[in-house]
Amino acid sequence: MDTKQSQNRDLSLEKHVAALMSILAEVHGEDQLALKAGKLDSLELLQSEKIEDRILALERLVHDDPTISGQRTPEEAVQVLQELEDYLADLLAKRTVEEQLEQKVSAKLQERHVEYIKEVRMQVLKEVAGPDNAQTLKKYAELEMLEKRSLSRSTADLMRPQRLEEVVGQEEAVKSLLTKISSPFPQHVLLYGPPGVGKTTVARLALQYAKQKEYTPFSEDAPFVEVDGTTLRWDPREVTNPLLGSVHDPIYQGARRDLADGAVPEPKLGLVTEAHGGVLFIDEIGEMDPILQNKLLKVLEDKRVIFESSYYDPHDPQTPKYIHQLFTKGAPADFVLIGATTRDPSEISPALRSRCAEVFFNPLTPQDIIEIVRSAAQRLGVKLAPGVAELAAEYTIEGRRATRLLADAFGVALYRGGKQDELVITKEDMQEVIQAARLSSHVPTKASPTKEVGRILGLGVSGYVGSILEIEAVAFPSREPGKGQVRFNDTAGSMAKDSVFNAASVFRAVTGEELSSFDLHVNVVGGGNIDGPSAGVAILAAIISAVKGLPIPQDIAVTGEISLRGKVKAVGGLHAKIYGAKQGGVKKVFVPKENLDNLPTSIEGVEIVPVEHVVDFLSQIFPQAFQAESTWPLAN
């Protein structure tokens, strides 16, 4: 190779090395490159005039290896520079990609930073202003406006008694309830009685009365929690139970989000805990689910509600203290239960009855209704024309309905143009209300001072409402001797039909005559269903009257089962029956002597006569034909 070629080659290597060095300077920077060359013991080689030394220094800097040594031949130098060029190309490409990624990462970080700033700002705004926005604040304003708009008090609230002294016709029941509630040791109570006689009102006022006594355990803020037993619904899985309380497990809808996220069950307290320290009043308690009643009995015994959940972990540090307390000790539920029902005591759970004292409310009499209407008119601020209260009493025996009739008549009087300050409700106003409501007299059968043959007044009861039964009989000589027939309306019930056959047997013993000599028809007017044998004595008297032509006073009534030996046996529902007789204008009521211990102490306007034997009764209504003796007398 000649000198010129050698010079050209060296010049080419010089340019190549210079180019690579400039690239390294751009990558690392001149100052950093000089420092790096010093660490790699290559600083003198970089400053050498020999191209071989500079190539060696370049090789050490690229590979970052100070141990590389040795001189390269021109051919090897070219190959080394080519390798270094490829390595630097890869390094530059990688650096470019890294720079692009860093730019993208910086851009993303900037975006996230802006979003985070926005989230923080929104959170601060929520903490300051709450969860409301323009729409929710508008709805809140609408609700506030609705709250400011109200009508006057309803007539039901206005005319409801505000003091126990204003409750009409229930003096004994009120006294009995107060003695059980206003005591150092108050009892659970069941209130029995027909609807509309004041059970709910008395229960509300009884707690207020008890709070005034120093010896009762009720505080001034003792709660009165009221609920209707017909509306109490519960889930057997205990997902919901508004009466006793329930547990909302994390998997069920309704659990709080913060608790559900931590898999913490949330107990929901029920009405029994809300009534703690006060009274829980359950209206229509007889309509409650039997299983729910049994659960309530458990709470009455323990005075505490126990919560259970398979999700509860007593060692979970994320569980709030109050939830630990509810699951370990339960929720307090020490209250007095007052349950009201229109059912007969026999239809109420024996277990519930055994834990409660029992108070019975009497049916209201016409005089009670008259007093209720007059008192309600005073609260309403109106005057009544003569006979208005008496007219209302003829069509209802419920205090609630009586006040509703008065309220409707009040509206009718205003409609015809009366001034409210000077309003007088007339009989025509009340009559218009009665006709519009399609009401009929609640006492279709009334007593009279006359006497009739083959007709007698018996007594029946439905629920707690007594009524008068009109029993009649007709007798004709049979067409064929000894082949007389006895007919009785089937709608009166099978037990009433048995009473007819019992009466037929006793008829022969009393009169000495065969009933088969007559065609006899016994009828209960109106087709009333007699639930029980209590019409036996009345049926016998009607038969004797029809056969013998003996008139019966129409201002008396009788109830009692008749045995085949003529004994007058005890019957049920006697209180309601006597009140029903009084409403019908009956002056004297004959009752079984066996019921003497259960008779009312006194009922104004009604004479109660106990009888032991059917002859005791017959001798008083048919004194000309029968004599009261120990033996069974025959007819004169």
Number of C-beta neighbours around residue 67 at 10 A: 8
Contact predicate 338/191, CB 8 Å: yes
* Strand bridging mode 189-192 / 336-341: parallel
Q: What is the DSSP string of 168-221?
A: -S-HHHHHHHHHHHSSSS---EEEE--TTSSHHHHHHHHHHHHHT-TTSS--TT
- The catalytically annotated residue of 268, 577, 582, 593 is 577
Contacts (Cβ under 8 Å, ≥6 apart) of 6: none
Residue 441 appears among annotated catalytic residues: no
CA 141 to chain centre: 31
Contact predicate 538/457, CB 8 Å: yes
| Block residue for tokens 């029995």 | 192
Q: ∠ CA 501-506-508 to the nearest 5 degrees?
A: 105
Sequence-ordered strand ranges (E) for 243-398: 245-248, 266-269, 279-283, 304-305, 331-332, 336-341, 357-360, 383-384
Contact predicate 474/427, CB 8 Å: no
Contact predicate 223/277, CB 8 Å: yes
- The catalytically annotated residue of 534, 545, 582, 593 is 534
Number of C-beta neighbours around residue 434 at 10 A: 20
The amino acid sitting at 604 is E
Measuring CA to CA, which residue among 480, 472, 486 is closest to residue 523?
472
Residue 534 appears among annotated catalytic residues: yes
List the catalytic residues: 534, 577
